[in-house]
Amino acid sequence: MAVNRFISLIKWVLFPLFDTANQICMKFLGGTVANIPFGMKWLSTAAISPYLWGALGADIGSFLAWMLILKKSDLSFAAPFISVQYITILLAGWFLFHEEIYIKEIIGVIFIVFGLLLIKMDKSAKAPEFMDGLAER
Q: What is the pLDDT along the chain (137 residues), one digit of tens a residue?
A: 677 777 777 888 899 999 999 999 999 999 999 999 999 999 999 999 999 999 999 999 999 999 988 888 888 778 888 888 888 999 999 999 999 999 999 999 899 888 888 877 765 555 555 555 444 33
Closest CA to 55 of 82, 81, 89, 28: 28
- For the chain, the structural domain boundaries read 2-131
40-67, pLDDT tens digit by residue? Answer: 999 999 999 999 999 999 999 999 999 9
Q: DSSP secondary structure string, 50-102?
A: HHHHHHHHHHHHHHHHHHHHHHHS-HHHHGGGGGHHHHHHHHHHHHHH-----
Q: What is the rounded distance in angstroms from the CA atom of residue 101 to the CA atom of residue 80?
A: 23
Closest CA to 70 of 15, 119, 32: 15
Q: What is the rounded distance in angstroms from the CA atom of residue 87 to the CA atom of residue 111?
A: 11
